[in-house]
Every structure is written in C-alpha cells, then in structure tokens.
Structure 1
Amino acid sequence: METNEIFENLIKIEPKVVSIETLFNNKETIKNTKYDPDYQRNYVWDDEKATYFIESILLGTEIPPIIYFRNGEKIEIIDGRQRYQTILRFINNEFKLKNTGLHKLDEIGIGGKYFKDIGDLRDIFWDTKLRIIEFSFHSKSSLNEEMEDTVKKEIFKRYNSGITPLKPTEIDKAIYFDDDLNAYIQKKIITDKVLFGEISALFYFEKSNVQILLKKIRQLLVQHKIPIKYYAVKKDIVISQYYEKLSSQIENDNIEEVFFKFIEKINILTRIKNEFTKNNFYFNRLISECIFWALSIIEEEKFKLTDIDTVFIENLANYINKNEAAFGMDRSSFAKELQSRYTVAANFFKEKLNISFENYIYTSLEFKSQNKKDTEGKPVVKQGTSFDDLRINKPEPSSITIVDICRQMERQRFLIRPPYQRAEVKNRNKSSAIIESILLGIKLPPIFVYKREDGVSEVLDGQQRLLSILGFLKKEYLDENNEKQKSIKDGYSLSLKNGILKNLDGYNIEKLEPDLVKKINNFDLWIIEINHRYNKDFEPIDLFLRLNSKPYPIKENTFEMWNSYINKDILEKIKFILKENEEWFYFRKNNSRMENENIYTALVYLQYELNKKTPIESQQLEFYKVGDKINFRIKSKSEITKTLESSNLKAQILTACNDLRSIFLSKVRSIVEDNDKNNIEVLNKNIESIFNVSTTGKRTQQSFYALWHFLSKVTYNSIQLDKQRIRNDLKELFLSMNSVKNKEKFEEKITNFWSKYNIN
C-alpha cells in the first residue's frame, strides 16, 4: 500500500490536552512510553537550555505539541524527545535550575534548586497542560511492523524538517527592538546610504544587511571596555552584556553624542583604509576592528583624536603592512590569534602616544571585580511585578481557517508580520510540505497571536506557516505598515518529488482540484491568543523569542535527519561500522550530535562514487586553495541525501559500506598500527600525528576527506611493504596543506604519492 493511502485511509489523528501530572506521575504510563526510538537523535540539551524550557512551562508559555504514536498501551514519542526527557529529568531531580537559563524568574529564588525544592511551584508545574497530537491506526488488523515504521519516520521527518530556526541577527532584531540607542543608529544607517556603504566596506560585509551591521556596531561601541584576553573567550556573550549596560546607562540626550563619536572614528578609519589602498597594502576587516578598538581607547584615555594626522596614518599603514601576518583570516577567531593581532595593534599606539594598553589587553583585578558584580547583579524588575503577573493568562486554543484570517486582515485586525518578526523564508520544499500536511489532514502546530490593546492580533509564532499557505493560495497579507503585500513565494508550485503526494508535484493553485483548494481554505488551524486585557505585563517580544528558541535544531542533510527515515539496513550498517572503529577513527569524542555518523556516511558516499567509477570532475569531493591553505569539502551534501533516499540504490550503498570497512578503514588501521603495539592509545596517537592535530588543535572534517582522497589509489600491498614511509609521507601531505603556493603544485604532490604507492 502506498504511503498516501495509509495516511488517507488507515491513520487516526487525535489532538489531546493532558496535564504534566497525568503524563509523568504515573509509573505505568512512563514505563509504556518509549521516548528514544532508534530514529530519534540523542538528547542534546544542556542544563541551561533545559532550565529555559522549564521556565517557559512555569510562565505558562504554550509548549509545542508532543507527537505520539500509540499502539495499544505502548506509546512512542515521534517528535518532542528533548522536551519530554527534560521534564522527566527535572521531575526526577537530575538537574538543578541554572541562573543563566532563567530570563524572567531569576528574582524568585529558584536558581540552583531541584524540582523537589521549588515549593508551591511544583503544583503549578504538575497542573500545566501539554498538547499532544496522537497518531494511531484505526484498527489492529490494518497494522504491520513495516507499515508502522514507515508512518513513524514520515511523521518525524515532517515535523522536524519544517523547523527554520531564527538566525542570530533575527534574534537580535527582536531583542533590541525597543532599545533607543540601537533604534537611533538603525534609523541613521538606513537613511544614509553613503554611511551604510562606508561601514560595510570597512568591515567587509559582502551581503550586508542592517541587522548584521548593527551587530557589528554594538560590538565596536563597547569592545574597548572588555580586556581582549577575556573577550577572546567570551565574545558575543560579553559584548551583549556590556552593550546592555551602556544602553541602560545612557540618557536620551546623550545618544546623539555617542553616535557622533562613533562617526568620528569611522571617518578616521576610512582615511586609514584609503592610505592602505593608495599603497596597495593588504587590508581586511580584522585591521578595521583592531584600529577602531585602539581609537576608542585613545578617546577613553582622554587623548584627542585630532592628533591622528596624515603622518600618523602613513606610519600606521606601514607598520600594519610589515605585520600583515598577524591579521590573517585563517584561525582568526581563535583566542591565541585574536589576542596576538590586538597586541600588535596596541604596540604601535603605545609607542606613538605613550598610552598603556596593559589593562585593555589583560584582565585586571578591577575588571574582574566589576564584571563579577555586573554578572551577579540582579536585573531591575518592575515594581510590584510578581510571579503571578509574569505568568501568562491564556485560554484554551480555538480553531481558525485561512478564510477567517483573510477576513480579519481585510478589517485590519490581523497582522502577520509585526516589526520584530523576521523576514519571510523562501524554502519551497518546506512550504510544500506544509500544504501536503494539510491535504493529508496532519495537524499543524498552533499559531500564537497577541491581541493588543487596540484589538489587533499580531502573530508571535507561525508566520512562516501562514505565509506558505497564503503564498500557495495567491492571497495578500498586511505587513507591519498596514500595507498589502504578496508572499515572495506567491503562486508557487508544489515541490513533492520526494513527498507522499508525488502526484501533485509541480501543481500550483490553478492546477489543483477545487475540492483540494477548498480543503486548504477550510483547514482548521489551532490558534492560541494572549489578550492584553488579561496580561497587562505581557512582553510579546519575550514570547516571540521563547517560542522561536529552538536549541540545536535538526539540520537537513545530516545524520540526525537521515536517521529518521533512510532505509534501516543502511543505517544499521553505518552504525555498526562506527561502533567497530569509534575509539580511534572518530571526528568528535562527544558525539551527541551524531557528527561521527555524518563523517562515516560521507565516506560511504565517496566509496559509492568510487565503486561506480564516477569521473573525477563529477565527484562530490573537491579541494580548493584559500589563502595559503588547501581545503577539502563535499560539494553538495544534498547529493548524499538524494542517493540515500533512492530505494533502487540500496544494494550499491550497502556494498559501499562493506568496501569502506574492508578497504579504506583496513588501510588506515594498517598504517596507524605499530608492529609491536596495537592498542587504542597507539592508533589515536599515530592518526593524530598524521592529521597534525598538535598544530591544528583538533580533528577536522576535512582531515577525513583528505585522508580518503590520499589513500583512494594506494594499494594494500604498498602499505604492507612500507607502512612507516607511507605514514611519514601522509604527514608531509597534511603539513603541506597549510602552506601551498598554488593548487597545481599540491596536485602534483598527490600524484607523486599515488605513483609511489600504487603497487599491486
């Protein structure tokens, strides 16, 4: 039976609402609930993320539905393992609430406490309702194991591939939406295109957008307040902390002065860059960052920026040019390299202006003391704001159709894109999956709206789902300026080549049968409304961030996703090979994100390509030169996905698995074994010596790809005859990847290596 027929005829979908106590305070229910089936990824939330989630429950924030599959008394969690296991761990007192994870309830004394220690809040926690979408077969007679497995994996894939997590800049847009200094600067760089272009050019943002530029400006405004040694480790966390401190202390009258001083330094930096250009000197954003930082310190130390004259700039340009190596992009985010370049910049200004940069480079006792106070200090809480005020008062969800939403938009009562929302995401595959789910009758997660004091409902979560539906139906929506807009996907055709309803692939609204169009228009969407009338202290931006905070989402074209639906025999074979070799042939020791399985699957794919004798120019593995280095990569991970999804290639992929094990891994093991010592410690020491881990600091993905490429034409006989020399030559090849004059020379080295060891 086809999958679409199973969903249309045999599957029962039942939405339920149950309390945490019903689910977690019943030993029989817990015993019958399997939350970690083999297609699920590992548990990946740390205690800070787990605390943030528990805080959301205590605040009354609606939790995304947990997706169940029921077979009699037995329950399997298809989607929601991280949520389910976090609640279970908390109730079992397996972790304490971390202060850093409490964003709203850090004032009520629950930080550092277990579930057993939170007093009356335990009752609130037990009584909290969770939403469940339960899938089951209509009758046991229609059930078989293969069919059940197909259904579960399809549901898991559907609910996880629909997630498009917020980008860091989208989160920042919401966080700083009400920040006066940020808003002032944003207005200035939007209205002044020349200034926008200058800042973009100085900090080399090829695809600059306002939010990326604002993030950089927030960094520049406060970075000199943080010793470089401390900043090198903490980066974004400490920048946010110090920017918020600056913003909270600044008076509205002083905002213009802060901006004026910023522009003064940008103008000097532009003059400096022009001097570099005139002399044809190397210049990049790292130089800009270091010089801006130094100019801020000059200002802080009460020196005049007017002292930066033409001669000073000429000397600075020559000095940086002589020390160009300190400003290279390679490993530029590493603490050692970062501290080195700021020290180089500081030395010039120290010598020319007799300013001590000691406290700006190294962590002083004064900074440590003040930083401790700032970190531990309690945030200002609105007078009279209690736990009850912070807790969201929301009714049970109601149903709404797209037709109803369009009607409300006509009356200007429904706003899909409030100003803090992100831009529409253009992903036809995900949008098509939403339409397919509707046509199959699969329930979508709730839409969250905030009903403002003026009666307008603004969407907090669910914007992308609504725009996917409206775009397909070719319906307009109201933007944040109350102007009608079309979706960027307006009138798109369904991309369902790999979906359940393959017969609808390529169909747009005009091609779809009227009954199916009607089904989309009248599909019941859950809507959860938080009304200002009953939630006076409610902050819509906080809930927007909370609902869109998806720690460690499952990415496409990774083993976490493949594990949910690819053929079971292939998955088990890859896991078996990994288990055999994971103590020495691993990418990550902590493999919670299945990164080792990712590497092994990529190598299986490369073996598959080798077996079918794919021409070298068409192969997915490529290497290219960046600066003085050679990088290896897989051209397109989506090609691996397509191959794994092809049911007619199963036999070839399983053959590739066996060959990877018996050929490539056998070769590697033979090379890294010592004749007299073959324990795991020896294998690890020798492979890390080949990879030059002592130089790079850790194993990298490209090391495994490079090793594959180097050994692809080396015979097993050669290894048996001259193991030590091959090991030394491999090490030399890896070393040469870090210092390459041109790609052709490197290719020549590989060819020589192959000709040396291609002995049958």
Structure 2
Amino acid sequence: MSKQDLFEKIFKEHLKVETFSKSVDSLYSMRSKSKIDFKPYYQRNYVWDDHKASYFIESILLGTEIPPLIFFNNNSGIEVIDGRQRYETILRFMNNEFSLTSKGLSILSQLKGFSWDKLIKKHPDIIDSFLDSKLRLIEFRLVNQPPLDPILQDQVKKEIFSRYNSGITPLKKAEIDNAIYNDDDLSNFFKSEYSEDEELMKMVFSNFFKQPKNQIDELPSAKIMSFTRRALVMHLYPINYFVRGTGRTNILSKLYEYYADENIENKAEILKEFKRKIIFLGEVRSFSENNNYSINRLALECFLWGYSVLDLEEITYDFANEVEQVSKFIHENIDYFTLVDYAFSHQVMSRYISTSEYFESRFNVSFNNYVTADESARKKFKEFSNESEEEIDLTLLETLRLSKPEPANNSIDDIVRTMTRRKFLLRPSYQRKEVINVNKASAIIESILLGIKLPPIFVYKRLDGVNEVIDGQQRLLTLLGFLGEDYLNEKDKLVKSKNHNFKLKKLRILKELNNSSFNDLSDEQKDKIYDFQIYVVEIDESQNPKFDPIDLFIRLNDKPYPIRENSFEMWNSWVDVEIIKSIKELKSSIDSWFYIKKIKRSKDRDRMENEELITSLCYIEYYSNSELPKTIDVYQKTSRMNSRISTKGRISTLLQSLSENEENKKHFFKSLKSVKSNIKKIKYVLIDRNVTKEEISDFLRTELNSVLNGGKVESGFRRRIQDFYFVWMMIDKVNFEMVKYHRIEMKKDISELLNFAKNIPQEFHEDGKGFSHFNKKLDEFHKRYQKADRKIKLNESEKLALIKKQNNQSSLSEAPIFLGDDIEVDHIKPISIGGNDSIENLGIAHKIENREKGVKE
C-alpha cells in the first residue's frame, strides 16, 4: 500500500471524531493540563496582545459562544490542533499574566485593570461563573489500531490543523463596520441612497479608491460606507492628532456616533451637501484627466476635508468657478499628495497642510485649529476621546449571559430542506457578502467526504420564526453551491451562490475527485454528503431577550491575527518536519543580528517573520540557476526602488513538492546551505574593525542597520524585507574569497547602492530612469567583484620560457625548479579574489606547494 493510500485509509477508517463540552474548571485542572500539549511544533507562536486577550475573556464572562477547541488524542497525550490562542489566553489569565484592558473590553469596561487575583478578591461570583463556563471541544482520536508510524501520524495532525486554519476568511474592517452600524439611521440613509443612485456610489469609488486593474463585478459597498462615515467627521479630527494613529479607529467611531446623534434630523441636508462635494470633485478629476493634469485619490480626499471645514466655519462658496483652479493647484503641488509611503505621518501632515494653505489663501479663513489643535481644543478633544461608556451593573451580569443549548446534530439534507421553506435567512443585513473561493470551498467538501467535523453553525431564532444565520454562512453557501441549490437572500429573492455548481479543485487527499461536480460523484459519495451531520447551535430570542446577534457575529468572525496564506505560520503547520526544523535552527543561530523583526519583550507578537525571511531566501537560491520566471520583482516607485517576491504562492508550491519528491528535497537543503554561505558573506562585509565576542552581536546589528539604510545610522530605522532582497541581489553572485579580500570597499559600495535605491535623485524620477541606473550600478558592482574565467593553458615551450623568466625559481618559495619536475601553473594573484587570467599573472611552482598554499596574494 502506498503512503498516499495509507493516508486516505487513516482518514476514512481510523479517525474517530467526538464533540463534547467541558467546563473551564475541568479543562484547566492539574490532571487535564498535564495531558495537553497546547503548543506542538506545527502550531504558530502565541500572538494575541492583551487587548485581544481581554476581548476574548469578556466573551466568556458574557457567556457568548466561542469557536470550539480542536484536539488530537493519540492515546498517550492530547495536542491542541486548533485553538492555541484561545486555550493559552485562558491559561495566561488564570496565571495572572495579564490584566483586562479598557481597549479590549467593549461591554464590561469597569473591569479594566482587573487581573485574575483581583477578580477573585473583588468579584468571586464572576470567577465562579467563569469557571463554570462551558467550552466546546472537537476531539480526533485514532482507533482500530491504525498502521501509523510517527511521520504519518505527524502528517495526519498537520492535515487537520491546515483544514481548520486555511479556510478562515476573517472579517475586514469595513465588514465589521457594516455590522456595527446595521441599525444606524444616518448610515442606512446613505446606504439606501447608494443603492438607488449607483452613479453616486461609482463616483465615490472612482474619486477616493485605488482603481483595480481589471473590471470588477460589484462595487465594495461596505468599504464605500466606511469611507463615507469617516469623511463625514474627518474635519472634526485635528490632523496632528490623527497622524499619531493611537486609538484612531476608536476615536473616529466616537466622532461619527456623536455626529450622527447630533444630526439625526438633518440627514437629508447632510446627504445633499455630501453629494454636492462628491459631484464637484468628480468634475475636478475628469477635468484633470482630460487636460493631462496630475490628480489622485489623496488630493481629492484632502479637498473633501477642506470643503467640510468651510461648511463648519459657515463660509459660503460656489463650485461654479472652482474646477479649473482646484485642478491646477493639485497638478502644481502633486508632490505633496504622493502615493509613496502615503500613510506615514510626515506625508499625511504635508498633504493636509498644503490643502489648508490653498483654502486659507482662497477664502481668507484660518485652518490652524483643524490642522494643529490649540490648547482649549486639545483639552476638549481629550475629554471627548476619553468619554466613558455607560457601565454595566455587574450584579446583573448573570442576566446578560447567553442561554445556549447543546448543539443539535442536523444532516446536510435536513438543513437544505429547512432553508428552502423561506424561514431561513442566510444573509441578514449585517452579514458580509460571499467571500469563499473555489479552492477553500473544495477543501470543505473534501473534509465532508473524509468525515472531518466542521465547526458548528450558529442561528438566531427570532420571535417571528425566522432563523438568521449568525455564523456559518460561508460553509452553507459552499454546500448550496456544490449541490446546485438556490437560497433566499435578504431581499426575499431566490438567488444562486457565486460558486453555483462548482467543480472540485486542488484536493489534497481525494485527488481522483478533482474537476468533479456534485453530479459526477457516485451515489455513495452523494449520500455521504447529504447524510453528513453538522452541529447547529440555535439561540432562541424568546429565551434570550437581551441577546444581540450582531455582537456574536463580530465576536465569532473578528479573528485577531489570522494565519495568512503563504506565510511561515502556515508553512510551519504542514511542510516536511526536517525542512522546518532546519530553517528554525538556522534562524536561531543568527537571530541575534540577522532578522527582519527583533522580538524584544515577551509581549511582542512573533509571527515567524524571521523564519519566513529565511524560507524566502531559500526559495530565491533554489531557483537561482533555473529557467523559471525570476523570483524577485524589482521596480521603481518614483523616488525609491522596491523589491518583492514575484509570486509568493510559488514558495508554497515548492514547499509542497518537497515531501513528494526526494530530489527536490535534496535541492532545497543545498539552497539552505547557500543561504548560510551568503549570510556568512554579509557578516564578513559588516566586520571592518576588531570586535570582541561580547560586542559582536550589538556591532553586527548596528552595522547591518547602517548598510540597509544606505550608510546612515538612525535610531528610528526599521528594517524591511525588501532591504534584504537588495543585499541578496548584490552579494549572491560574489564568491566568498572575493568578499574576504575586498570586504572594506564592498561594504561602502553596497551602502551607496542601497542609498541610491532608497533616495533616487530628482533627475532619475521619470520614465524609469532610476530603475535603469540602479541596474547599471548593480551590473558594475558584479563586474568589479567578478571572478575571471580560467582560460589560458601553457604548452611545454611556454612553460620553459616562464621557468627561465623566474630564474629557475618557484614562484611561491623561490626553491629551484626545472622543466621535468612535478609542476603546476597557477595565478600569482588568485582569480578568486580578483586576479586577471593573463600571462603576466601566471607563475610556475612545485605541485605540492601549490596545492598547499590555499588562496594567497
């Protein structure tokens, strides 16, 4: 039986899946903790900060449902397959390793600053409720004595981990906002206008959003609404406060809520003025494009802000004569609205100050307090931003806790039938749009065919009998799409999933089913899908009158720091264990100085960026002599050069091939060896003076920062991964001996080349001149440190002539030498360190001494 067949057999016949609940008290007992490994090597690091951790603890205190923990029981111990962040957060809280933060508590704000011990002393009843809280568990257990060696068992665990993590599509900020403001009158007023006036929505998108290269089927309405809410209050937020970034999202939300409450009766007037500005700025954009004037979304956004300030200052203005004047100003000052590093505080301040100067000159009005708040405004704004929420009476906390029954087992056939009876609302207004792609959808169907349990579906049973899907929409849409069934949308119309009747793609285990639709499956496979049991948690409004489905929707879907595809956090979970181990070992041996991110404190989030850097460099080395497309994409962005991995997904494809092809695996280890060699070269380049063992790490860190920053030393300098790619492009082609002998001048050359890449002079900004000049400089660098080809070969008479020229003395030791001795011709200055392959650089020596000399001048 092949390894692949055995792997399939294990999933089909030897994995038992159980679902049950345990109290926090039971799960974290000494006996239970001793059996649980919550951080097996394939898990990523603990990455939640105290705010995210506090939000999670609050969810438990409120009795809100949380995603189940996924365990793997190998009969000798239990590993946490999915849920390490949740499991460890509870453990850290019970061990007094953090206190609840105000930013993390959205409802129980009066518990800020409380640790576990402080809660025990002040609110023992809350601790009792916490310990009694039930956590859902899904446990995979090996049964029937499977023929499982450690490597195969490792692959099974990784496969389960990957399935529970790669399918997650976390909510975006705009989607969270869509849910939060679902009942907001002003938001709904604008949303209604956008749905009726699609041209207005298109204009907002064209004016203020980065335009996609390809035509899109549907405008991002949630993002457009988020932008609208921000634009309505941006003039209330002093720019010097805004650029700090601290609590920006929270403050903008409070500003909007205040603005919406104050203007509850003025919705029509607000829309009218907003629409007038949008249409005017659309005319500015069109005029600029028709006259080849420079224009971009940042400039238009700043002018939207400027006209909003005029409204607040009650300055009358007429758009009739403004189009050409505004267009001309933006064109002549476009450098202030640069799209390069546009989110940096300096760039933000520059563009708003420039805009304010236009308005001050044009309308004779001061913008000082809108750009830089005065003392009274600062005091007022601070009071506003720190305004406390209404506190919950903690004695009533138990009444807020969710009354939730144990999940019911429902077959897919039952669920589909229920959904067609028009009592099942798959997409309530706060739900996001369908986002799952065919690859992820295919993985869900494969899991069902293998009998791998899916996370529960959460529905809210309203008093009118309608079941709202709070969580599980994407899974249900996948099932409906594959089965070819329609569903009822929020407008009470039967519609099809965007993946209607899709065919399975990129299956990892049941590969024979690739390109199969539901109708292509056997009757047995179809029945397996229809009969597959999904847990459904039904929350009844009649038993939970204070329940907020939107709050649960956000808590279940707002995944903090989800595992990104094509990242080391994900690769760590499924790549060959030997490869992962070797990458981690190399990272550990050099992480005192060679890193993209330095983990300084235990609270820093280590998202394995340094391991990802090493893996990316291995990928570059793997294809360094290949005919495949280039691995690094280099391009000019006006005043600086950028570099990136051309296609990150190709790294995942390569890593996947290593477990399937032994030759590929050997080649990858050679690449890892090349990476070590190149890092050693970089180390030699950095050391240009005597450094003690105690000083070496600090010295290398400082010098690498200086080189990456073009020879400058700045305290606030932040390393970027593209800096490493640039150095790699320079050093990779240079042999080690050349580095060793020319390290001093090479360090200077690398710094100068990087300085050019980061600060392209004005005369090279246009028409890709900077890119051409950079490549020319890079080529000159490689030629300067290029090893000459060994081409010259001497015949007997030429050797005799050279021996006579040396007065019959060895070129190395001056010992007597004659034609007929065991002799060798070699370069006086080795070509490996820059010597020429010429007659003038050749010498004849005894073979034994030539072989023993090594590389010497």
TM-score class normalised by the smaller sequence? over 0.9
- 1:255 and 1:462 map into 2 onto residues whose CA distance is 35
**Which amino acid letter does the alignment assign opposite residue 127 of structure 2?**
R
Native 8 Å contact 2:71 2:139 kept in 1: yes
Q: CA deviation at 1:309?
A: 6.0
What SS class does the counterpart of residue 266 from structure 2 fall into? helix
- 1:120 aligns to what? 125
- 2:539 and 2:141 map into 1 onto residues whose CA distance is 32
Give identity over the alignment, percent.
Answer: 38
Tell whether 2:620 aligns with 1:606: yes
**Which amino acid letter does the alignment assign opposite residue 14 of structure 1?**
E
- The 1:73/1:426 distance shift into structure 2, 3 A limit, reads closer
Aligned partner (choices 647, 651, 657) of residue 672 of structure 2: 657
- 1:683 and 1:157 map into 2 onto residues whose CA distance is 37
- CA displacement 1:65-84 (0-9 Å, x = unmatched): 11112233522111110000
- 2:339 aligns to what? 329
What SS class does the counterpart of residue 152 from structure 2 fall into? helix
Q: CA deviation at 1:318?
A: 4.1
- 2:81 aligns to what? 78
What SS class does the counterpart of residue 77 from structure 1 fall into? strand
Tell whether 2:530 aligns with 1:521: yes
Native 8 Å contact 2:705 2:717 kept in 1: no
- 2:825 aligns to what? none
Native 8 Å contact 2:100 2:111 kept in 1: yes
Alignment of 1:553-568 (within 5 A): 553-568=562-577
**Which amino acid letter does the alignment assign opposite residue 744 of structure 1?**
S
What SS class does the counterpart of residue 99 from structure 1 fall into? coil
- The 1:123/1:289 distance shift into structure 2, 3 A limit, reads same
- 1:383 and 1:125 map into 2 onto residues whose CA distance is 17
Native 8 Å contact 2:70 2:138 kept in 1: yes
- 1:725 and 1:129 map into 2 onto residues whose CA distance is 66
Native 8 Å contact 1:415 1:480 kept in 2: yes
Aligned partner (choices 239, 242, 250) of residue 252 of structure 2: 239
Native 8 Å contact 1:389 1:535 kept in 2: no
What SS class does the counterpart of residue 622 from structure 1 fall into? strand
Tell whether 2:171 aligns with 1:170: no
- 2:231 aligns to what? 220
- 2:851 aligns to what? none
- 1:718 aligns to what? 738
- CA displacement 1:331-371 (0-9 Å, x = unmatched): 11011111121112212222333322222112333333333
- 1:690 aligns to what? 707
Native 8 Å contact 1:426 1:488 kept in 2: no
Tell whether 2:633 aligns with 1:619: no
**Which amino acid letter does the alignment assign opposite residue 269 of structure 2?**
E
Q: CA deviation at 1:535?
A: 1.2
- The 1:22/1:706 distance shift into structure 2, 3 A limit, reads same
What SS class does the counterpart of residue 136 from structure 1 fall into? strand
- The 1:279/1:431 distance shift into structure 2, 3 A limit, reads closer
* Bigger Rg, which one: 2
Q: CA deviation at 1:482?
A: 2.1
Aligned partner (choices 686, 705, 709) of residue 729 of structure 2: 709
- CA displacement 1:512-555 (0-9 Å, x = unmatched): 11111101101110000111111112111111111101101111
- 2:253 and 2:358 map into 1 onto residues whose CA distance is 29
**Which amino acid letter does the alignment assign opposite residue 674 of structure 2?**
D
- 2:795 aligns to what? none
- CA displacement 1:259-279 (0-9 Å, x = unmatched): 122223334434544554465
Native 8 Å contact 1:398 1:527 kept in 2: yes
- The 1:382/1:687 distance shift into structure 2, 3 A limit, reads closer
- 2:554 aligns to what? 545
Q: CA deviation at 1:102?
A: 1.5
- 1:366 and 1:201 map into 2 onto residues whose CA distance is 38
- The 1:747/1:228 distance shift into structure 2, 3 A limit, reads same
**Which amino acid letter does the alignment assign opposite residue 462 of structure 1?**
G
TM-score by length of 1: 0.94
**Which amino acid letter does the alignment assign opposite residue 608 of structure 1?**
Y
- 2:153 aligns to what? 148
- 1:673 aligns to what? 687
Tell whether 2:440 aligns with 1:430: yes
Tell whether 2:26 aligns with 1:22: yes
- The 1:172/1:147 distance shift into structure 2, 3 A limit, reads same
Alignment of 1:443-482 (within 5 A): 443-482=453-492
Native 8 Å contact 2:295 2:330 kept in 1: no
What SS class does the counterpart of residue 539 from structure 2 fall into? strand
- 1:368 and 1:677 map into 2 onto residues whose CA distance is 50
Native 8 Å contact 2:436 2:474 kept in 1: no
Native 8 Å contact 2:235 2:305 kept in 1: yes
Native 8 Å contact 2:10 2:146 kept in 1: no
- CA displacement 1:177-211 (0-9 Å, x = unmatched): 11111111122222223322332232244254222
Aligned partner (choices 3, 22, 27) of residue 7 of structure 2: 3
- CA displacement 1:458-495 (0-9 Å, x = unmatched): 11100111111121111222111222222211222222
- The 1:294/1:141 distance shift into structure 2, 3 A limit, reads closer
- The 1:144/1:349 distance shift into structure 2, 3 A limit, reads same
- Gaps of at least 5 residues in structure 1 are none
- 1:538 and 1:211 map into 2 onto residues whose CA distance is 24
- 1:270 and 1:5 map into 2 onto residues whose CA distance is 62
- The 1:724/1:469 distance shift into structure 2, 3 A limit, reads same
Native 8 Å contact 2:55 2:104 kept in 1: yes
Q: CA deviation at 1:391?
A: 1.8
- 1:624 and 1:292 map into 2 onto residues whose CA distance is 32
Tell whether 2:600 aligns with 1:586: no
Tell whether 2:793 aligns with 1:750: no
Tell whether 2:56 aligns with 1:41: no
Aligned residue pairs, count? 749
Of 52-61 and 423-432, the range deviating more from structure 2: 423-432
- The 1:722/1:186 distance shift into structure 2, 3 A limit, reads same
Native 8 Å contact 1:451 1:531 kept in 2: yes
- The 1:309/1:467 distance shift into structure 2, 3 A limit, reads closer
- 1:363 and 1:569 map into 2 onto residues whose CA distance is 58
Aligned partner (choices 13, 16, 29) of residue 12 of structure 1: 16
Native 8 Å contact 1:10 1:142 kept in 2: no
- CA displacement 1:15-62 (0-9 Å, x = unmatched): 2211111011x2122122111111110101111111111111122222
Q: CA deviation at 1:562?
A: 0.6
Aligned partner (choices 35, 58, 65) of residue 62 of structure 1: 65
Tell whether 2:641 aligns with 1:641: no
Native 8 Å contact 2:107 2:391 kept in 1: no
- 1:48 and 1:163 map into 2 onto residues whose CA distance is 21
Aligned partner (choices 390, 409, 413) of residue 403 of structure 1: 413
Of 462-471 and 234-243, the range deviating more from structure 2: 234-243
Native 8 Å contact 2:482 2:501 kept in 1: yes
Native 8 Å contact 2:107 2:392 kept in 1: no
- 2:576 and 2:106 map into 1 onto residues whose CA distance is 42
TM-score by length of 2: 0.84
Q: CA deviation at 1:670?
A: 1.1
What SS class does the counterpart of residue 66 from structure 2 fall into? coil
Native 8 Å contact 1:492 1:508 kept in 2: yes
What SS class does the counterpart of residue 546 from structure 1 fall into? helix
**Which amino acid letter does the alignment assign opposite residue 583 of structure 1?**
S
- CA displacement 1:543-600 (0-9 Å, x = unmatched): 1111101101111111001101111111111111111111111101136100111111
Native 8 Å contact 1:350 1:357 kept in 2: yes
- 1:329 and 1:645 map into 2 onto residues whose CA distance is 37
> Structure 1 residue runs of 4+, over 6 Å off?
381-385
- 2:800 aligns to what? none
- 1:193 and 1:411 map into 2 onto residues whose CA distance is 32
What SS class does the counterpart of residue 615 from structure 2 fall into? helix
Of 232-241 and 182-191, the range deviating more from structure 2: 232-241
Q: CA deviation at 1:142?
A: 4.4
- The 1:493/1:274 distance shift into structure 2, 3 A limit, reads closer
- 1:258 and 1:390 map into 2 onto residues whose CA distance is 37
